[in-house]
Amino acid sequence: MRLVLIGAPGSGKGTQTKFLIEKYNIPQVSTGDLLRAAVAAQTPLGRQAKAVMDAGQLVPNDIVIGMIRERIMRPDAENGFIMDGFPRNLEQAEALDRLLANLGRPIDAVLQINVDFDLLMQRMVGRLTCLSCGTLFNSFTNPPSIDTQCDNCGGTLHHRSDDNEETINRRLRVYETHTQPLAAYYSNKGNLHVIDGQGTVEEIKKRIKSALRGMRSSRIKLQPVTQQPAAKAVNTRPEVIRTQVSDKQKPAPRQKKREAAATNPVVRKRSKRTVSAAQTAYRAQLKTLQNELKTVKSELRDVTRTEKLLAREVEKNEAALEKLTEKEASLK
């Protein structure tokens, strides 16, 4: 199973990735881990990436795609993989699709975990991580028994310095601008599954199971093009046996037509082809309408989130204006 997980920071992608790794026995492909490993091993791609990073620039997509190609060609990725941290924008998504198409291993499903931005803020501001075993807690939704101590191993709990409202709000805006359009892209391709990310870990896990139930990993067989010798034409028309029939026994013209229509395979094939073509056109039209509906729903969700963000900005501006008014009144 070849999967891509997309979702805002704090949406729970890491937790659900662990579940998918165990369920399908496939590796997690993290572009960050690939870059660090390639640089440490001083591979050709790693040396190129290090030179770019030392210059203070972002690693180009072609280098990252090259590393992804090397990773997914390893034996443990034969049954599939889960993309982590890639793609982040439309350009990367198109580059990844081209790579997988060339390898005959297209993406089977894209899971988008949707969580309300207010809940995301609460999750990340209250996030606590055990430095010893990596267990996650949350001071709001899943607090530890002792504020600074892990319930599992007794290790020290750490709160990241960048888990504050200002930084998180900026990260969420970056996600909306660059990564959110991926939903519309994959929706148009027909492999997007939107997962409600609110609720317990088990509830979200059940929704993912339901979305992937019955799905099988697809593979395109790529074969080299070779010139074949021209085959002799084979006469596929049914053999006609001619017999002499007396004038009295000759069938009437209408009877001849009925018999020909009943026994002629060519007539039957034409009718089947006509029906098949109509079914194909109807399915294509239905698929287009379904994709358009998914796109409209995605755009509606984007508009709703934008309205919420604007409402927050208005509230902040009103609060600031009130403070200025009070300050001005006190000065008078």
Confirm whether 175 is domain-assigned.
no
Q: Which residue in 171, 189, 301, 305 is the catalytic one?
A: 171
Q: Which residue in 127, 205, 207, 294 is the catalytic one?
A: 127
Q: Quick one: pLDDT band at residue 119, thresholds 50, 70, 90?
A: confident
> For position 163, what pLDDT does the model report?
75
Confirm whether 287 is domain-assigned.
yes
**Which range has highest mean pLDDT (202-216, 229-243, 279-293)?**
202-216
Calculate mean pLDDT across residues 65-78: 93
pLDDT over 70 (residue 327): yes
Calculate mean pLDDT across residues 70-78: 93
**What residues have CB less than 8 Å from 184, skipping those under 6 apart?**
295, 298, 299
In angstroms, the CA 115 to CA 199 distance is 10
How many domains does one find in the chain? 1
Quick one: angle between helices 44-54 and 31-41, nearest 10? 100
Calculate mean pLDDT across residues 53-66: 87
Q: Which residue in 50, 69, 88, 305 is the catalytic one?
A: 88
Q: Which residue in 23, 47, 98, 160 is the catalytic one?
A: 160
pLDDT over 60 (residue 262): no
Of residues 201 and 285, which shows the higher confidence score?
201
Q: Is 244 helix (H, G, I), strand (E, B) or coil?
A: coil
pLDDT over 50 (residue 240): no
Q: Which residue in 13, 123, 207, 294 is the catalytic one?
A: 13
Q: Dihedral, CA atoms, 130, 131, 133, 135, nearest 10 degrees?
A: 20
pLDDT over 50 (residue 99): yes
Average pLDDT over the chain, rounded to an integer:
79
Confirm whether 259 is domain-assigned.
yes
Of residues 63 and 323, which shows the higher confidence score?
63
Range of the domain at 301: 251-332
Region of poorest pLDDT, from 52-61, 232-241, 286-295 = 232-241
Confirm whether 98 is domain-assigned.
no
Question: Is 171 known to be catalytic?
Answer: yes
Confirm whether 325 is domain-assigned.
yes
Confirm whether 51 is domain-assigned.
no
pLDDT over 90 (residue 69): yes
Q: Quick one: pLDDT band at residue 257, thresholds 50, 70, 90?
A: low
Question: Is 88 known to be catalytic?
Answer: yes
CA 55, distance to chain mean position in Å, is 32
> For position 236, what pLDDT does the model report?
43
> For position 215, what pLDDT does the model report?
79
Residue the block writes with tokens 């028309």:
237
- Single pTM value for the model: 0.59
Confirm whether 144 is domain-assigned.
no
Go through the chain and tell me how many residues it has.
332
- Residue 250 is encoded by which pair of tokens? 């000759």
Confirm whether 275 is domain-assigned.
yes
Question: Is 13 known to be catalytic?
Answer: yes
Region of poorest pLDDT, from 190-194, 272-276, 312-316 = 272-276
